[in-house]
């Protein structure tokens, strides 16, 4: 984790140096990317909820879910987040919001039907830990420079090729290549960071509920439930992958490096280690 | 939660705050005298039972102790598990002081066993002059009480009555300052 963060940092320093060396109007780029990151932090909640077809529910509409989350909040000493439900058969849950005060946790109707109360409790505790750990903020900030690099790359694709005459500025090519490199490497580092945060959220959930095995069994049930889902739903969901309890279509992931979530086997193994520790506690 | 904790995502679950449970012993007198809130003779402590061997033995031992002392004090103990998987130890005793002591026996036993972070809350049950249910809930993690008055009907609470109670009790009880932490508990069995 620390190593990943260090690598990300080093990478971004390299990008800044390359940008300055190339004499690019870095301020402009930073402003645009900064604005996007800010929008991501402050405005994306509602957008993401709408994209998922989720809506906030009152305690009267979903009494069980509200009561479950309230108890978890007492245990985790968190203020209660907004509660939303997405009406889809895909069993999943996710958390949004930059800080515990402005957070929303969402469950799909599919996951509420699929899981037992104890399993659902584990899943919601996982999402609440994302909230407590401020994962949305961490991932947005960590992705800040990756976004800048991505824009430079796109900028290069759209406008760089146009005037490849003798006047072409060679330093722009260098910057383009560095940005491409930064983009690619930071992509993998971000995925590694995301996987780490997933493990942390699993661990946090186990601490809140005291039942690692319930979460493990929920993960198994969700992953087997996942494959019965129509393809269209899976694709429609791909944008929000990083904040899901379990990413849609993860079974088809080409390699570990590309995944935002650790593999099911590793997560369950980690949870089982926690259960062993719990049982052996003296 | 510090900056480094945010970075690493390693957040520890909070243990109980300094114990202010016994503030209820004296506050109950005020509740009775000035607000006509009488104890229903019941109180409960709610916790997550863990499926580990030593947790079970701690709970069993603690129940033994409670039943033992109950023969002197007249406190009776009942346990029920609710639909959320939480265990309610319901104590019954006409003497309010004994109820507070009994609740403390349970929480102390769990804390001594290293399971203090599993306690959800303690609930003291009262009835007002119109025989309506009024609860004072003690949140161990925050070391504070808050009132909970269910109104008639599903998932409804009488927020007005709760806020009034907070003002009336004043400084006699440590009352939770953040209103969004006044978590309701539906279906309290006492």
In this predicted structure, what is the pLDDT of residue A166? 46
Portion 39-58 of B in contact with A at CB < 8 A: 48, 50-54
Residue A116, Cβ neighbours under 10 Å: how many?
13
Judge whether residue A121 has pLDDT over 70.
yes
Q: B residues 137-156 near A, CB within 8 Å? A: 139, 141-142, 154-155
pLDDT at site B104: 92
What is the average pLDDT value for chain A, to the nearest integer?
A: 76
Measured from the Cβ of residue A46, the count of other Cβ atoms closer than 10 Å reads 11
Q: Which are the contacts of B29, defined by CB distance < 8 A and separation ≥ 6? A: none
Mean pLDDT across B32-45: 91
Helices (H), chain B: 3-8, 23-35, 53-73, 96-112, 159-169
Q: Residues A119, A127, A167, A198: which is the catalytic one? A: A127
Region for residue B155 given its phi and psi (left: phi exceeds 0; alpha: psi -120 to 50; beta: otherwise):
left
Mean pLDDT confidence for A52-67: 88
Q: Which of B138, B31, B11, B171 is nearest to A200 (CA)?
A: B11
- Please answer yes or no on whether B141 and A74 come within 8 Å at the CB atom: yes
| DSSP letter, residue B142 | T
Overall average pLDDT of the B17-39 stretch: 88
* Mean pLDDT computed over A220-231: 62
Give B155 to chain A, closest Cα distance, Å: 6
Q: Which positions in chain A touch B122 (Cβ < 8 Å)?
A: none
State the pLDDT confidence band at A230, using cuts at 50, 70 and 90.
very low
Contact A71 B120 (CB under 8 A): yes
Which residues in A lie closer than 8 A to residue B83 (C-beta atoms)? 117
DSSP class per residue in A201-230: HHHHHHHHHS-HHHHHHHHHHHHHHHTTS-
Higher pLDDT residue, B171 or A232?
B171
Q: Which residue from B6, B14, B84 is facing A77, i.e. has the nearest CB? A: B14
Nearest to B50 among A2, A138, A210 (CB): A210
Question: Bigger pLDDT: B146 or B170?
Answer: B146
pLDDT tier at A177 (50, 70, 90 boundaries)? confident
Mutate which: B6, B7, B9, vs A, most A CBs within 10 A: B9
Which of A76, A132, A281 has the CB atom closest to B52's CB atom?
Answer: A281
Residues from chain A that touch B54, judged by Cβ atoms under 8 A, are 281-282
B139 torsion bin: left (phi>0), alpha (psi -120 to 50), beta (else): beta
Over residues A126-176, the pLDDT tens digits come to 999 999 888 878 887 777 767 777 777 766 655 554 444 445 556 667 777
Residues 6+ apart with CB under 8 A from A50: none
Is it the case that residue B94 has pLDDT exceeding 80? Answer: yes
Identify the pLDDT of residue A174: 76
In the structure, what pLDDT confidence band is assigned to residue B116 with cuts at 50, 70 and 90? confident
Mean pLDDT across chain B: 87
Q: Residue B49 pLDDT more than 70?
A: yes
Q: Which two tokens stand for residue A75?
A: 């245990």
Mutate to test the interface with B, among A9, A128, A133 (most CBs of B within 10 A): A133
The total number of residues written for chain B in this structure: 190
Q: Which residues of A touch B (CB under 8 A)?
A: 1-2, 5, 59-60, 63, 66-68, 70-71, 73-77, 79-80, 117-118, 121, 129, 132-135, 137-138, 196-197, 200-201, 203-204, 207-211, 278-279, 281-282
Which pLDDT tens digit goes with each residue over A179-216? 778 778 887 888 888 888 889 999 999 988 888 888 98
Q: pLDDT by residue (tens digit) across A18-59?
A: 766 666 666 666 676 677 667 766 666 777 777 778 889 988
Is the pLDDT reported for residue A103 higher than 80? yes
pLDDT at B135: 95
pLDDT at A33: 66
pLDDT for the residue numbered A161? 47
Q: Is B6 on the interface with A (CB under 8 A)?
A: yes
A64 catalytically annotated: no
pLDDT level of residue B149 (50, 70, 90 thresholds): very high
Phi, psi of A247 (to 5 degrees): -70, 135
Task: Say what the pLDDT of residue A123 is.
Answer: 94
Res A259 pLDDT > 80: no
Query: Taking CB atoms and an 8 Å limit, are B186 and A80 in contact across chains?
Result: no
Tell me which residue of A112, A110, A59 sits closest to A83, measured CA to CA. A59
Which of A68, A200, A204 minimises the CB distance to B84? A68
Q: Does B121 touch chain A (CB under 8 A)?
A: yes
Cα distance between residue A138 and residue A142, in whole Å: 6
CB B76 within 8 Å of CB B91: yes
Q: What percent of chain A has pLDDT over 90?
A: 14
Q: Whole-model pTM? A: 0.73
Please tell me which of the candidates B6, B85, B183 has its beta carbon nearest to residue A70. Answer: B183
Does B9 sit within 8 Å of A200, measured CB to CB? yes
B1 reaches A (C-beta below 8 A): yes
Q: Is the minimum CB–CB distance between B129 and chain A shorter than 8 Å? A: no
From chain B, pick out residues whose CB is under 8 angstroms from the CB of A75.
Answer: 13, 48, 117, 120, 141
Work out the average pLDDT over B124-146.
92
């Amino acid at each position: 984790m620390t190593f990943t963060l260090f690598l990300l940092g080093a990478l971004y320093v390299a990008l800044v140096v390359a940008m300055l060396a190339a004499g690019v109007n870095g301020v402009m780029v930073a402003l645009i990317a900064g604005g996007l990151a800010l929008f991501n932090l402050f405005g994306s909640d509602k957008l993401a909820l709408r994209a998922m077809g989720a809506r906030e529910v009152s305690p009267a509409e979903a009494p069980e879910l509200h009561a479950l989350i309230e108890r978890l909040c007492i245990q985790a000493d968190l203020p209660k987040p907004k509660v939303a439900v997405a009406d889809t058969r895909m069993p999943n849950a996710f958390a949004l919001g930059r800080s515990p005060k402005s957070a929303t946790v969402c469950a799909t109707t599919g996951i509420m039907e699929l899981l037992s109360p104890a399993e659902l409790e584990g899943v919601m505790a996982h999402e609440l830990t994302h909230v407590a750990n401020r994962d949305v903020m961490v991932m947005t900030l960590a992705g800040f420079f990756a976004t800048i690099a991505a824009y430079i790359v796109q900028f290069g694709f759209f406008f760089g090729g146009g005037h490849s005459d003798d006047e072409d500025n060679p330093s722009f090519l260098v910057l383009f290549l560095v940005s491409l490199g930064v983009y690619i490497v930071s992509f993998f580092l971000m995925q590694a960071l995301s996987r780490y945060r997933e493990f942390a959220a699993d661990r946090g959930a186990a601490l809140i509920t005291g039942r690692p095995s319930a979460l493990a069994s929920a993960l198994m049930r969700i992953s087997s439930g996942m494959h019965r889902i129509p393809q269209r739903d899976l694709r429609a969901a791909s944008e929000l992958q990083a904040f899901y309890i379990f990413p849609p279509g993860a079974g088809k992931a080409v390699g570990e490096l590309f995944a935002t979530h650790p593999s099911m086997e590793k997560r369950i193994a980690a949870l089982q280690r926690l259960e062993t520790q719990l049982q052996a506690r003296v | 939660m510090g900056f480094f904790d945010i970075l690493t995502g390693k957040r520890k679950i909070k243990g109980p705050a300094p114990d202010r449970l016994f503030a209820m012993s004296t506050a109950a007198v005020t509740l009775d005298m000035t607000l006509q809130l009488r104890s229903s003779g019941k109180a409960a402590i709610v916790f997550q039972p863990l499926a580990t061997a030593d947790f079970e033995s701690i709970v069993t031992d603690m129940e033994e102790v409670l039943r033992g002392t109950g023969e002197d004090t007249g406190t009776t103990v009942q346990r029920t598990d609710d639909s959320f998987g939480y265990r309610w130890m319901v104590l019954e005793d006409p003497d309010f002081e004994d109820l507070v002591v009994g609740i403390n026996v349970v929480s102390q036993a769990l804390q001594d066993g290293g399971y203090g972070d599993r306690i959800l809350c303690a609930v003291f049950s009262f009835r007002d002059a119109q025989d309506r249910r009024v609860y004072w809930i003690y949140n161990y993690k925050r070391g504070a009480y808050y009132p909970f008055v269910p109104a008639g009907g599903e998932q409804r609470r009488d927020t007005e009555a709760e806020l009034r109670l907070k003002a009336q009790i004043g400084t006699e009880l440590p009352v939770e300052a953040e209103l969004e932490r006044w978590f309701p508990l539906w279906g309290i069995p006492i």
